[in-house]
Amino acid sequence: MSKKFIPQQFLNRELGQLEFNRRVLAQAEDANVPILERLKYLCIVSSNLDEFFEIRVAGLKEQIKLGGVAAGADGMTAKQALKLVREQAHLLITRQYQVLNEDILPALDKQGIRFLRRTIWNDAQRAWVREFFFNEVKPVLTPIGLDPSHPFPRVLNKSLNFAVELQGKDAFGRNSAKAIVQAPRVLPRTIQLPPEISGGAHDFVFLSSIMHALVGELFGGMEVISCHQFRVTRNSNLFVDDEEVKNLRTKLQGELPHRHFGDAVRLEVTGNCSQPVAEYLLQQFELAPEDLYRVDGPVNLVRLMDIPGRVARDDLKFPAFTPGVPGVLQKKGADMFKVIRKGDVLLHHPYQSFKPIIDFIQQASTDPNVVAIKQTVYRTGVDSELMDALIAATQLGKEVTVVVELLARFDEEANINWARKLEEVGAHVVYGVVGHKTHAKMLMVVRREDGKLRRYVHLGTGNYHPRTARLYTDFGLFTSNEEVCADANEVFNQLTSLGKAHKLNHLWQSPFTLHSEILRAIQNEIRLAQAGKRAHIIAKMNALLEPETIMALYDASKAGVKVDLIVRGVCALRPGVPGLSENIRVRSVVGRFLEHTRIFYFGNNLKHDVYLASADWMDRNFFRRIEVCFPVLDKKLKKRVIDEGLKVYLQDNCKAWEMDGEGHYRRKDPRRAAPKCAQSALIGNLAGSSADSISKSNTKSSNTKSP
């Protein structure tokens, strides 16, 4: 660690991620949130924690195993961090299940949505469950009795399993006291009972309840002493040596199956699991007692995520809305190229529709004047109209180039499949640059017009993924600006060809210029403040971790620059510390949608520079990824970004949390002032309407001169 970084000036990344999940859990605790949405938030916490253990905790354990003692900017070693993470994770998970049992399930029950425990089944329900077990469950189970010829089985990452204690002898005279039953993933974890059997329209039983009730049927003639759910979380990092890989796709296809059987990092059991069984399982997975998490309920809450979709109760969910479309695109069958030639077009998802992006590429795929299409793919999903359009364009003879990032975590398999399909029809498929993930969101179309070639570009802060475009907040920009298009073309050439990086007109790019340009822009605000001029920085992102950038922001604060940071997740900077960061405010907004936009505003002596980016302010984004940060040049669109992406979030007092210098968050209290909810305001102003009105109707005080 560089000596210029003082550990006391930085917060720990892993503890920051747990703090973020506390803010998500707070949504599940909030009685003002519809009850089925509260259940979703509870599931999201579990999903987040799964990835946290699979990646971050696994990384800490790997460092310890390899003998590494190097500390991050916060000065904490892996061993120290792991100790604190375990303590905080146990507290968080205990609270999560407390919310489930004391708040969520009783509230659902009042609405006629019940999870029937086996202890309250009546005779009719018990008979139905028994029939379901014999017809749908037992045929796909493979119980494994543990003895010298049947060793402890390989247990899949995050799968549901049962440890069974037995007594007696089987048909072969064996008296093994233990067995393992693995629940195949094809089995649903929640089963809806027919209304005529349950007496209610939305009654469910857990698969685990069925197993507990009928597990004895798997071991005929033997007595079941106990049956306990368990679930193991494994290290899911893929280890690919960039220097030795000759074919990344082939290598990944070989590595992906191993993800399910990486080193164990966490064991979850139910609270009533006996200590001997828990210790036995810990021994089998080579885990420490601190890695055992006892939970008061199902060991995998993620599998409850589908319940809201199975319950037809719109009154218990967030109100539905139709994403808006900019006025210039509202005409049915609008010519996207004609519209973009007239001026840049800004989309703000999910308040505005993702469909114009699909329309753009579909029009390009069939337009006889389009000669080439280039696109980056980081995450796009298993089913994608965009990918289908690229395949169709290739089949129609257009030059199609797709930069597929095969190492997009947990989307590797989908991306491999798309790469294969594109290659099969003759598209040019490349996998970016060795050692650098391609995280930039770029789409370029080359069209012949009036005897010459003209480029059209879409740049975004989010992935080309229609489903997440309904769940994540992101900006996307269409432009035919020649200099911006030339920059995008240069980045594509870097990704597909060889050669030196050339100077770009407008785009800041990782790993070459983004970091230095951010530092330069911060330094410029410092100079303005020192000259007695107004200086202001506003940055919205998912995470702020890179030490040199944080130090530059501290310098800006000391110089009198006003710094407003809207950081959804982890922030290693300590705000409000006297003599260090008293001019810096940090807030996090956690609401209906996942905040995903990256927006950087620099006052620049009232020029109001606004940039959108695919990158957070993290080491990996600055130095180990291909990222682009692009300016919003049109004054009206710049004002929209400031109003919709920054001001409204700085004014939020419903879903916003203020961070203190110790890394703790305090939720804003709307009772002290008129309630202002950024996401609700944006739905009201952008959804299903002409989408350029937020600056007019959100607040009269909004203006470009003073963000």
- Strand-pair partners of 611: 600, 631
Tokens of 150: 């049947």
The residues with which 264 forms a beta bridge, in sequence order, are 234
Query: DSSP letter string over 441-483?
Result: -EEEEEEEETTEEEEEEEEESS-S-TTGGGTEEEEEEEE--HH
Nearest residue to 514 via CA among 414, 621, 360, 606 = 621
Contact call for residues 236 and 55 (beta carbons, < 8 A): yes
The DSSP code sequence of 268-307 is EEETT--HHHHHHHHHHTT--GGGEEEESS-S-GGGGTTH
Q: Are the C-beta atoms of 517 and 383 separated by less than 8 Å?
A: no
Q: Which of 228, 439, 536, 608 is catalytic?
A: 439
Contact between 398 and 373 (Cβ < 8 Å): yes
Contact 382, 421 (CB under 8 A): no
> Are the CB atoms for 16 and 582 separated by under 8 Å?
no
List all residues 6 or more positions away from 173 whose beta carbon is below 8 Å from its beta carbon: none
Beta strand spans in 251-389 (E): 264-270, 292-295, 345-349, 370-377
Look at residues 592, 477, 461 and name the one whose alpha carbon lies nearest to residue 37.
Answer: 592
The DSSP call for residue 331 is S
502 is catalytic: no
Q: Which two tokens stand for residue 338?
A: 């004609």
Do the beta carbons of residue 71 and residue 13 sit within 8 Å? no
What are the distances in angstroms from CA 111 to CA 96, 102, 195, 315? Answer: 21, 15, 15, 10
Checking phi first, is residue 396 left (phi over 0); if not, alpha (psi -120 to 50) or beta?
A: alpha
Cα–Cα distance, 70 to 84 (Å, whole number): 17
What residues are annotated to the active site? 439
